[in-house]
Structure 1
Amino acid sequence: MIFHVSIEADDPRHIAQVIAELWGGIATPFPPVIEGSWVALAGDTRNSLIEVYPRGTELVEAEGDADSYGVHGSESRRSATHIAIASSLSQEEVLAIAQREGWPAKYRKRGGAFGVIELWIEGSQMIEVLTPPMQKEYRETLTIKGWTDYLASVGVMPEAATA
């Protein structure tokens, strides 16, 4: 189970506000790690949240009995980090938000199994947004059995599959 993830953005406040809008939650400042950070809270039963740090923030280990903290690092705008989030909005509503923000977005069917909307926040970081019908597809197909069956269908066998 994932409780929260963190991403980086040029405008953390705005990004947290848009994610909160997709969730029907709220966005607030998130000062524990580095100044300028924001967080989107879903308000769901799992207390899901997404921390949004200023671009270039790097989390580093603190000496002794202290929390990790953020520093500014590279200027890269792309990352392999992405998240998939549920939204109660329709596909049309999600795409309208993307259009309003000027962000690339499109519907994609992953492996022929479940749909997502690729939403590229600030044009550089992907969030996969799943509408209610897409969430149903995801829950029905992305099980351990469903995934291992898919791997077998494309000729890939996991080396260390465990149950």
Structure 2
Amino acid sequence: MIHHFSLPAADPRHVAHVLGELLGGYVGPFVGPIPGAWVAYADDEHGTGVEVYPERTELFPGRSDDEQGRAVLGEAPAAVAFHALLSVAVDRRTIEEIGAREGWRTRHFWRGPPDHPLFELYEFWVENRVMLEIATPDMLSAYTKITNAAAQRTILAGKA
């Protein structure tokens, strides 16, 4: 289970507040060692959260065995090879309204082979640069049916 992840943003505070609307929990400054970072936590039993770092933040491993990973400022990337699927308690209309209000590309798609879609989600492009996949409660059963070893082997074998 993934409990939290981080993503870059030009405006971490604003992005955290928008994600807080989707997650329905706490939003505030990040208490970790990243200056200017904010966090949005779902009000759930898993501690689900998104840490939102200033876009120039780069993470590197410690330089010695007893040094933690460290954050430094570098160049902001134009795009990142990262995404995450978040399940949220809000409905489809709320996702669409928030995306429209923010001017962030928000589109509903089905994932899987074109002739055999497997599950649906929203592509929710934070600041039109970082993709989050968003699923409402009614979308989750199709996703969880295929995200286990047996189902994946069947899909890959072309038997799905």
Query: Do both proteins adopt the same fold according to a TM-score greater than 0.5, normalized to the shorter chain?
Result: yes
In structure 2, relative to structure 1, the CA distance for the partners of 1:142 and 1:62 (3 Å cut) is closer
Q: TM-score, normalised by structure 2?
A: 0.90
Structure 1 residue 42: deviation in Å?
Answer: 0.8
Structure 2 unaligned residues grouped into runs of 5+: none
8 Å CA contact 1:15, 1:52 repeated in 2: yes
Structure 1 residue 74: deviation in Å?
Answer: 2.4
Structure 1 unaligned residues grouped into runs of 5+: 155-163
Query: Residues of 2 paired with 1:135 and 1:77: CA distance?
Result: 31
Alignment of 1:14-163 (within 5 A): 14-64=14-64, 65-111=66-112, 112-153=117-158
Aligned-residue RMSD, C-alpha: 1.5
Structure 1 residue 39: deviation in Å?
Answer: 0.9
Query: Residues of 1 paired with 2:36 and 2:9: CA distance?
Result: 10
Tell which deviates more after alignment, 35-44 or 72-81.
Answer: 72-81
Q: TM-score, normalised by structure 1?
A: 0.88
8 Å CA contact 2:83, 2:132 repeated in 1: yes
Q: What is the letter of the counterpart of residue 39 of structure 2?
A: V
User: SS where residue 153 of structure 1 aligns?
Assistant: coil
8 Å CA contact 1:98, 1:104 repeated in 2: yes
8 Å CA contact 1:34, 1:69 repeated in 2: no
Structure 1 residue 69: deviation in Å?
Answer: 2.4
Q: How many residues align?
A: 154
Q: What is the letter of the counterpart of residue 109 of structure 1?
A: W
Structure 1 residue 117: deviation in Å?
Answer: 0.2
Q: What is the letter of the counterpart of residue 127 of structure 1?
A: L
User: SS where residue 157 of structure 2 aligns?
Assistant: helix
8 Å CA contact 1:116, 1:134 repeated in 2: yes
